[in-house]
Amino acid sequence: MYRSTVPAIILACLSLTACTSSSGPESLMAGIPSKETTSSVTPSAPVPQASVGQTRATLRAEPAQKVLAWGGPLPQEPKAFAAVDQQAEPRRAMPQIDTSMSPQAGVGLPDEKSVQMAMAAAPAINAGPAVRSRIFRSNFSDAKPINFGKVTPRHFAVHGVDVSRWQGNIDWERLRSRGANFAFIKATDGGDHLDPMFKTNWNRSKAAGLRRGAYHFFYWCRPASQQADWFIRNVPRDPDALPPVIDVEYNGESSCKMRLPRAKVLEKMQVFMDMLERHYGQRPIIYTAPDFYKDHLSGEFLNYPFWLRAVAQHPSKVYPDRKWMFWQYSGSGLSHGVEGKIDLNVFSGNEESWLRWTSRRGNG
């Protein structure tokens, strides 16, 4: 999404002959925070601006060893792993995901005593495995509560959040004690935008004991291989992290108005996800919304975990043919530790399946 000040910036830059572009208008936006959003959450306070380290000009020249845009070096990847956006790699046989993590329709609501016990003490800074494996019961509120019918978010044991710079400075310890057992954190979108709060949120959420993963907002006007490389440059390879997420959806406020045919959408997604899976050793999670899913993803990627947005009805009604791992049930959540609204989510399985699944990804 372009602001009114952007054209003036571009014109000034061109007049000084200091700007060059090899990939269209997006390359002129380097250093300007992305306006992409993934839900109805909007900023309620001035958004802090954090330094992200190296500039895009520095990254344009490929270094001998890949480095994080804000941190230390990454291991070199074999050149044989390079993917091109114009030629999708052959799809290979994919292992099935754990089917034990299905919705627990019969799980009872947590009683008041268990909630109070879970809320008794906030996790310590630099939390260890014991705190990361502890499950805090949800004590979130919602500015726009929805009646989901017989199976509601409260029937699920493991709740979490997703955040970006729009949430400002988060008190992660308080948010954890209110029921945030996991967090998906906005990292990147397109090929040159890094969320200015990513590094802060990435480090502080882990210190507070949350299991966290990073997500990338996919930009249809950029090659998939460029976007995957940008994500890899900015998101550390951490054995404790949840799988990386590709966020695919329509966004009317995006500067990219391209609507690709279904086959091209699937091809670009496959290139991006294959590159991330090779680098991080984990199958990416696909986040999407109802309209995009209906047009492009129904019946596709059956061996990938899905994170589905369904804020008015249960996912079984919105996505009747799809098993899901995470359900984003609200874009209007309220919690101590965050000013304004925050997205709320649940994990599809019970406590046992959550601990089993996360234990495969580090010390859970």
Q: Can you give the pLDDT at residue 198?
A: 98
Confidence class for position 362, pLDDT limits 50, 70, 90: low
Handedness of CA 362, 179, 291, 312 (dihedral sign): positive
Give the separation between CA 349 and CA 103, rounded to whole angstroms: 6
pLDDT at 14 over 60: no
Structure tokens at 115: 């909630």
Q: What is the mean pLDDT of the chain?
A: 76
Per-residue model confidence (pLDDT) at position 27? 38
Residues catalogued as catalytic:
249
The pLDDT of residue 308 is above 80:
yes
Quick one: 112-359 is in which CATH superfamily?
A: Glycosidases (3.20.20.80)
- Residue partners of 41: CB distance under 8 A and separation at least 6: 164, 166, 167, 331, 332, 340, 341, 342, 343
Q: Is the pLDDT of residue 333 over 90?
A: yes
Q: What is the pLDDT of residue 144?
A: 94
The upper half-sphere exposure of residue 87, i.e. CA atoms within 13 Å in the direction of its Cβ, equals 3
Residue with more model confidence, 293 or 61? 293
Instruction: Express each pLDDT in 228-285 by its tens digit.
Output: 999 999 999 999 999 999 999 998 888 888 899 999 999 999 999 999 999 999 999 9
- In this prediction, residue 68 carries a pLDDT of 72
Least confident of 25-29, 35-39, 172-176, 253-257: 25-29
Copy the structure tokens of residue 171.
Answer: 């008190």
CB 358 within 8 A of CB 211: yes
- pLDDT for res 1: 38
Tokens (6 digits) for 157: 């044991």
CB 337 within 8 A of CB 123: no
24 in Cβ contact with 30 (< 8 Å): no
pTM: 0.71
Q: What digits encode the pLDDT tens for the residues 186-212?
A: 999 999 999 999 999 999 999 999 999
**% of the chain at pLDDT higher than 70:** 63
- In this predicted model, what pLDDT tens digit does every residue of 77-131 receive, in sequence order? 333 333 334 333 333 333 333 433 433 333 333 343 333 333 334 444 466 666 6
- Could you tell me which residue, 265 or 39, shows the higher pLDDT? 265
**pLDDT tops 80 at residue 10:** no
Over the stretch 40-51, which tens digit does the pLDDT of each residue have?
Answer: 454 544 544 443
What is the mean predicted confidence (pLDDT) over 151-164?
97
